[in-house]
Chains A and B, each alone.
Chain A
Amino acid sequence: MSNYSLIEIVSFKKVTFYSVKEIYADEELIWFSDFIKKIKNEEKISIREMLKMIGNKYEAGEQFFRHEGQAQALPSKKVNFIEIKSNLRLYCLRINNNAVILFNGGYKDAQKAQDSKISFHFQQANMISKKILKSINNKSIIVGNDNRLKWDQDLII
């Protein structure tokens, strides 16, 4: 069975992005790294620039995210501002305006995420979001005064 821990991947002026590191036997996989390997080149540009704009200019306001169960996803339905194929989903968990955890995702090919090929990503995002929110509630993950996340390096979510 896999174990999961949190990892900081990039910090911009206004937002720090984190991801999940999955550990199974001797292997490790950072979910966001898996995501960027799968998406098409033109969408890499869109995702990169969107995250940079949110990170450097706007902060991670709620308007940028769509609700996906306990988790969220980018891009939003409301402010879906870029030429990303509307069926691309990057699942994530917005903690506050300054901290977002990026998961995995892919191309949604059915009306409901649950019926689509990316249903596994949807389920994983919801499973890990519950665990992370629980860890925040029981203070294993602390939201600092600067809104950044702090946790013990050995923490398994």
Chain B
Amino acid sequence: MGYIKKGKTYPKAKEQLKEIQDFFNTESPIEEKFFIEYSMDIAVEVDKQLKKQGLTQKDFAKKLNKRESEVSKWLSGLHNLTLRSIAKMSEVLNKKLILTASDAEEQFGNKAKVINFSTYKVEESPKIEYHHRKRSKKHIQVSNF
């Protein structure tokens, strides 16, 4: 038994693919986009640092003097991260989790180029590349059905 209900008429697969294409091509509100990008960048960076330092989420919570469930919430996005909690995580990880545009310029000089809005791409730098925000429809190819 599948999802298709007997007697119900569905749009043709070609039309469904077009709906999927429209879904991906819809521009999200900029604020939402930034919120997701920042949240994702921070959570990914924390996860990367934990792995690098051989720490579990439990160890991390202990070092933060927090309950594991609370830290899990911090990294869950259900909890809007405060600057205070980001600072605390940075302290424990001994790693700055946020680099502002000016920080990037100062740290990398003219190697850091503004790509779009406030995002930077650092050229010829040791594996540091900030998110390339230029997204055009060229990046989205929907298969020919």
Contacts and interface: CB of A to CB of B under 8 A. Distances in A.
Interface of A: 1-2, 4, 7-13, 19, 21-22, 24-25, 27-34, 36-37, 44-46, 48-53, 56-58, 63, 75, 77-84, 86, 104, 124
A22 B75 contact: no
Given A34-B3, A104-B3, A28 B12 contact: yes
B75 A80 contact: yes
Contacts of B3: 2, 22, 29, 31, 34, 104, 124
B20 A33 contact: yes
Nearest to B12: A28
Contacts of B80: 83
Interface residues of B, number: 46
B17 A9 contact: yes
B13 A21 contact: yes
Nearest to A10: B24
Interface in B17-72: 17, 19-21, 23-24, 26, 28-29, 32-33, 35-37, 39-40, 42-44, 47, 57, 72
Given A12-B139, A81-B75, A48 B1 contact: no
Given A10-B140, A33-B19, A86 B8 contact: no
B76 interface: yes
Interface in B89-141: 131-132, 135, 139-141
Given A19-B20, A27-B9, 5 more contacts: A45-B36, A48-B23, A56-B132, A77-B72, A79-B44
A32 to B, nearest CB: 6
A84 B40 CA distance: 12
Nearest to A54: B40
Contacts, number: 140
Contact of A22 (B2, B24, B26, B32): B2
A81 B44 contact: yes
A21 B11 CA distance: 12
Given A57-B131, A79-B75, A80-B75, A28 B40 contact: no
Given A48-B24, A49-B28, A52-B24, A83 B2 contact: no
6 contacts: A49-B28, A51-B24, A78-B57, A80-B43, A80-B78, A81-B76
Given A22-B3, A29-B4, A124-B2, A80 B76 contact: yes
A58 B4 CA distance: 34
A24 B4 CA distance: 7
Contacts of A7: 13, 17, 143, 145
B143 to A, nearest CB: 4
A13 B29 CA distance: 22
B20 A78 contact: no
A8 to B, nearest CB: 4
